[in-house]
């Protein structure tokens, strides 16, 4: 039985003797969108280049719908590509740009396909325009339509909306999701924008220094991060260095004791880091059990929420996000108590110094 979708198996790659991909493994189920994300230089584009055939990885296998791509020439891979600096032909109309790869088709079929794609990206009224007279978002939609024109087996997108402003980005993200519902094409999208990844992709592949740290749905990755790195990269994580004192108890550096509703997978005496999302902290202006005393620095309103910044006695910064329920804001410098929800705490081994 052939395995559908795109499979990246044990891929290693080096540039000039420096290894930049270390045993990369993940797969994109047929018809789904997977986002590759991670800090600059972690190897995202290198993976995309290996899939596209622009580089041959030192080791590993890449298969698409059961076909081994590793030794297939770029033009025979049947991939559509959309990059940040998309190059449309400025002397051709929108329709001509989209039809560019369809020269081999009979005219009637070519026209029908271009019209279908114009509808898909909602550009039919712009068919006869030249790209310099389109907005950035419209140009990018032409690039997507052009990439889809040849009916590719998969779509590769490298920071496709990177050059656009925030509002336009989210509009195009929503369009991509809608379009995927229509065409359902196996897609790998590289982005460094975690909100974009969460908005568009069913699965995220979080990378760090050439390695895959975690693969999972946006919810799995946010709620059950596999490492301290993933925890801090996707969303904000307040970090609390602590020592395990019992099967489900620990003591932070400031002597605050926390109880857990589950057994910790660490022996008593282990040095650990506990993390807590800003929205999982409750604010009080009076001492409370299981709450950290902190100095209130500032609060910024965000619609119904208050984003609070505070400093723990040992100097680490804490962020909290609480409902703006009408209670008075603390004064700058005042001591406040932040109580984490024990069910939402994450525990990791302390990083080696």
Site residues (CB under 6 A) for ligand ATP?
15-16, 20, 38, 40-46, 192
Smallest separation, CB 219 to ligand ATP (Å): 24
End-to-end CA distance of the chain: 48
Least distance from C-beta 23 to ligand ATP, angstroms?
15
Q: Which is nearer to ligand ATP, 39 or 66 (CB)?
A: 39
From the CB of 55, what's the least distance to ligand ATP, in Å?
8
Please, are residues 155 and 80 in contact by the beta-carbon 8 Å criterion?
yes
Shortest CB 43 distance to ligand ATP, Å? 4
Residue with tokens 């930049």: 20
**3 state SS of 137:** helix
* Residues with Cβ within 8 Å of residue 106, at least 6 apart in sequence: none
Q: Is the Cβ of residue 20 or residue 252 nearer to ligand ATP in the bound state?
A: 20
CB 251 within 8 A of CB 242: yes
Which three-class secondary structure state does DSSP give residue 94?
Answer: helix
Q: Is the Cβ of residue 8 or residue 240 nearer to ligand ATP in the bound state?
A: 8
Residue with Cβ nearer ligand ATP (38 or 152): 38
Q: For residues 186-208, b (16+ Cβ closer than 10 Å) or e, as one string? A: bbbbbbebbebbbbbbebbbbbb
Other Cβ atoms less than 10 A from the Cβ of 275: the count is: 21
Least CB distance to ligand ATP at residue 160 (A): 13
Smallest gap from residue 192 Cβ to ligand ATP (A): 5
DSSP string, 142-199: HHHHHHHHT--SEEEEESTTTTS-HHHHHHHHHHHHHHHHHH---EEEEES-HHHHHH
Q: Going by DSSP bridges, is the β-strand pair 271-276/238-246 parallel, antiparallel, or unpaired? A: antiparallel
Cβ atoms 324, 306 nearer than 8 A:
yes
Minimum CB separation of residue 101 from ligand ATP in Å reads 26
Q: Which is nearer to ligand ATP, 16 or 219 (CB)?
A: 16
In the complex, minimum distance from the CB of residue 151 to ligand ATP, in angstroms, rounded to a whole number = 27
b/e for 282-299, b at 16 or more Cβ within 10 A? ebeeeeeeebbebbbbeb
Q: Considering beta carbons, is residue 65 or 193 the nearer one to ligand ATP?
A: 193
Residue corresponding to tokens 């076909």: 67
Closer to ligand ATP by CB, 126 or 161: give it.
161
Closest CA to 197 of 152, 147, 161: 161
Q: Tell me how far, at minimum, the Cβ of 45 lies from ligand ATP, in Å.
A: 3
Is residue 181 exposed (0-12), middle (13-18) or buried (19+ Cβ within 10 Å)?
Answer: exposed
* Closer CB to ligand ATP, 46 or 140, in the complex: 46
Question: Whose Cβ is closer to ligand ATP: residue 45's or residue 150's?
Answer: 45
């Amino acid at each position: 039985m052939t395995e559908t979708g795109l499979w990246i198996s044990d891929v290693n790659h080096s540039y000039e003797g420096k290894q930049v991909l270390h045993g990369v493994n993940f797969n994109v189920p047929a018809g789904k969108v997977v986002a590759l994300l991670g800090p600059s230089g972690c190897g995202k584009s290198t993976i995309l280049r290996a899939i596209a055939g622009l580089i041959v990885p030192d080791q590993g296998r890449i298969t698409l719908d059961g076909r081994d791509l590793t030794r297939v020439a770029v033009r025979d891979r049947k991939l559509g590509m959309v990059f940040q600096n998309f190059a449309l032909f400025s002397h051709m109309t929108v329709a001509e740009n989209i039809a560019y790869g369809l020269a081999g088709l009979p005219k009637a079929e070519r026209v029908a396909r271009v019209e279908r794609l114009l509808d898909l990206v909602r550009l039919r009224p712009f068919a006869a325009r030249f790209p310099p007279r389109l907005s950035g978002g419209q140009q990018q939609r032409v690039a997507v339509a052009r990439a889809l024109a040849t009916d590719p087996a998969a779509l590769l997108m490298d920071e496709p909306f990177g050059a656009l402003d925030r509002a336009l980005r989210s509009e195009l993200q929503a369009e991509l999701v809608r379009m995927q519902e229509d065409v359902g094409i196996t897609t790998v999208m590289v982005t460094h924008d975690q909100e974009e990844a969460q908005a568009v992709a069913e699965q995220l592949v979080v990378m760090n220094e050439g390695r895959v740290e975690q693969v999972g749905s946006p919810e799995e990755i946010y709620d059950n991060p596999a490492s301290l790195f993933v925890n801090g990269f996707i969303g904000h994580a307040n970090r609390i260095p602590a020592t395990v004192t019992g099967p489900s108890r620990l003591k932070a550096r400031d002597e605050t004791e926390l109880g857990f509703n589950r057994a910790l997978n660490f022996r008593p005496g282990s040095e650990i880091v506990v993390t807590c999302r800003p929205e999982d902290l409750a604010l009080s202006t009076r001492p409370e059990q299981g709450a950290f005393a902190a100095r209130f620095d500032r609060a910024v309103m965000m619609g119904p929420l208050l984003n609070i910044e505070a400093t723990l006695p040992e100097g680490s910064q804490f962020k909290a996000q609480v409902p703006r329920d009408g209670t008075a804001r603390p004064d700058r410098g005042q001591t406040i108590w932040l109580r984490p929800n024990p069910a939402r705490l994450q525990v990791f081994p302390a990083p080696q110094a």
